[in-house]
């Protein structure tokens, strides 16, 4: 009995490792992450690490749980455009992986597109649909946007900065300094963007090393984790869909936040419909989507 208690204590001790932001430890861990973005450690990065791993632990646990749902989708589209999959961590700082997130400036969705940029990358925004909140459509749009930014700058830290503040601010800072390096132009960027790359590094570290900080993922409902996607071409209300599929309207709504009026409008191109993989009525026909989990 005493031996068992000792084992339990040892296991608890192993999990509850004393949180450390010691420079040598953090730098070593960052170097072990295979990243296309240069991950440096400084006081600004440390400040945001503290936010994710100490002060904001509960929020990080929720983000980690949601990542099981969304990261595979992001990785699919990033790979489709030959982009590094570590860019998925942008969504951690953009939306905390909340698909219905809206910023004070009107940016929306997991990737936080403003309306003009969303439309530029073929996201439909009208009275019935806002595809900035469509997980698949917005993820492909984000991949295209990031690819265009990399073609312009050829440096991922500058791409990340431009994703936050736009190319005008980044171009102006480059012109002032004559340098194409984020850390060299940082002080000439808006304050939010100065913090954006350090926050990205901190989010990346937190997503990879949370287990050293007594943080446990909190996973969403199982029906939100394993999903399939099909195309719908005719008008289809959530009410009728719930009756046909056997899935609750609440689950349908959570999986399809891009439909403003709980109605999928008719379309020749078709709109995405996301449903749980399990639990569909036997007579409900659907097709698997290539990126489905």
- Is there a single domain that holds both residue 208 and residue 247? no
Residue 168 lies in a domain: yes
Q: Is 123 helix (H, G, I), strand (E, B) or coil?
A: coil
Say what the pLDDT of residue 281 is: 52
Residue 12 lies in a domain: no
Say what the pLDDT of residue 16 is: 45
Q: Is 269 helix (H, G, I), strand (E, B) or coil?
A: coil
- Is there a single domain that holds both residue 129 and residue 244? no
Most confident of 5-9, 37-41, 47-51: 47-51
Say what the pLDDT of residue 284 is: 57
Say what the pLDDT of residue 285 is: 52
Say what the pLDDT of residue 11 is: 40
**Segment 256-275, tens digit of pLDDT:** 999 999 999 999 999 999 99
- Is there a single domain that holds both residue 91 and residue 189? yes
**Segment 188-217, tens digit of pLDDT:** 999 999 999 999 999 999 999 999 999 999
Name the nearest CA neighbour of 145 among 189, 114, 181.
114
Q: Is the pLDDT score of 289 beyond 50?
A: no
CATH number at residue 249: 3.10.350
The pTM for the full model equals 0.87
CATH number at residue 152: 1.10.530.10
Q: Is the pLDDT score of 147 beyond 50?
A: yes
Across the range 286-291, mean pLDDT stands at 37
Residue 287, φ and ψ in degrees, nearest 5: -120, 145
Which of 213, 240, 258 lies at the terminal end of a domain, its last residue? 213
How many structural domains does the chain have?
2
- Residues 6 or more apart from 132 whose CB is under 8 A from it? 108, 109, 111, 113, 115, 118, 123, 125, 138, 258
* Better-predicted residue by pLDDT, 286 or 27: 27
Say what the pLDDT of residue 287 is: 43
Say what the pLDDT of residue 279 is: 60
- Is there a single domain that holds both residue 111 and residue 252? no
- Is there a single domain that holds both residue 124 and residue 249? no
Q: Is the pLDDT score of 38 beyond 70?
A: yes
Q: Is 99 helix (H, G, I), strand (E, B) or coil?
A: coil
Most confident of 8-22, 86-100, 214-228: 86-100
Residue 90 lies in a domain: yes
Question: What is the C-alpha separation between 91 and 137, in angstroms, rounded?
Answer: 15
**Segment 62-100, tens digit of pLDDT:** 999 999 999 999 999 999 999 999 999 999 999 999 999
Residue 290 lies in a domain: no
Q: Can you read off the two tokens belonging to residue 75?
A: 């990785």
Residue 247 lies in a domain: yes
* Better-predicted residue by pLDDT, 89 or 288: 89
In which residue are the tokens 């990080």 written? 60
* % of residues, the chain, pLDDT over 70: 88
- Is there a single domain that holds both residue 206 and residue 227? no
* Residue 7 banded pLDDT, cuts 50, 70, 90: very low
13: left (phi over 0), alpha (psi -120 to 50) or beta: alpha
Largest CA distance in the chain: 70
Residue 100 lies in a domain: yes
- Is there a single domain that holds both residue 49 and residue 179? yes
- Is there a single domain that holds both residue 98 and residue 149? yes
Across the range 18-31, mean pLDDT stands at 81
User: Could you say which DSSP state residue 214 is in?
Assistant: T
- Is there a single domain that holds both residue 133 and residue 259? no
Q: How many residues are recorded in the chain?
A: 293
Helix (H) or strand (E) holding 271: strand 271-276
- Is there a single domain that holds both residue 228 and residue 194? no
Question: What is the C-alpha separation between 149 and 87, in angstroms, rounded?
Answer: 13
- Is there a single domain that holds both residue 269 and residue 188? no
Say what the pLDDT of residue 49 is: 94
- Is there a single domain that holds both residue 61 and residue 198? yes
C-alpha to C-alpha distances, 7 to 10, 214, 216, 218, 291, nearest whole angstrom? 5, 18, 21, 26, 42
Question: What is the C-alpha separation between 142 and 87, in angstroms, rounded?
Answer: 10
Q: What is the extent of the structural domain holding 226?
A: 222-276
Say what the pLDDT of residue 293 is: 33
Say what the pLDDT of residue 110 is: 98
Residue 68 lies in a domain: yes
Q: What's the chain's average pLDDT?
A: 88
Inter-residue contact 248 to 55 (CB < 8 Å)? no
Across the range 32-58, mean pLDDT stands at 90
Residue 183 lies in a domain: yes
């Amino acid at each position: 009995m005493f031996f068992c208690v000792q084992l339990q204590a040892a296991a608890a001790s192993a999990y509850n490792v004393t949180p450390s932001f010691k420079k040598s430890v953090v730098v070593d861990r960052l170097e072990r992450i295979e990243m296309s973005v240069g991950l440096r450690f400084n006081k600004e990065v440390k400040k945001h690490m503290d936010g994710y791993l100490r002060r904001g632990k509960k929020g990080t646990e929720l983000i980690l749980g949601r990542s099981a749902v969304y990261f595979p989708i992001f990785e699919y589209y990033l790979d489709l455009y030959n982009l590094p999959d570590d860019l998925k961590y942008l969504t951690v700082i953009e939306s905390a992986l909340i698909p219905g997130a809206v910023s004070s400036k009107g940016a929306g969705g997991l990737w936080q597109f403003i309306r003009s940029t969303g439309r530029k990358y073929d996201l439909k925004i009208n009275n019935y649909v806002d595809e900035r909140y469509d997980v698949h459509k917005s993820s492909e749009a984000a991949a295209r946007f990031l690819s265009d930014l990399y073609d312009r700058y050829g440096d991922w830290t500058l791409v990340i900065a431009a994703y936050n503040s736009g190319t005008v601010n980044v171009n102006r800072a480059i012109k002032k300094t004559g340098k194409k390096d984020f850390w060299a132009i940082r002080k000439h960027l808006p304050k939010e963007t100065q913090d954006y790359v350090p926050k990205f590094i901190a989010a990346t570290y937190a997503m990879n090393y949370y287990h050293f900080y007594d943080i446990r993922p909190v996973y969403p409902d199982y029906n939100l984790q394993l999903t399939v996607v099909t195309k719908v071409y005719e008008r289809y209300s959530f009410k009728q869909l719930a009756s046909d599929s056997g899935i609750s309207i609440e689950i349908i709504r959570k999986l399809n936040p891009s439909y403003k009026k709980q109605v999928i409008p008719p379309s020749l191109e078709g709109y995405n419909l996301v449903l749980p993989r399990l639990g569909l009525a036997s007579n409900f026909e659907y097709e698997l989507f290539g990126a489905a989990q």
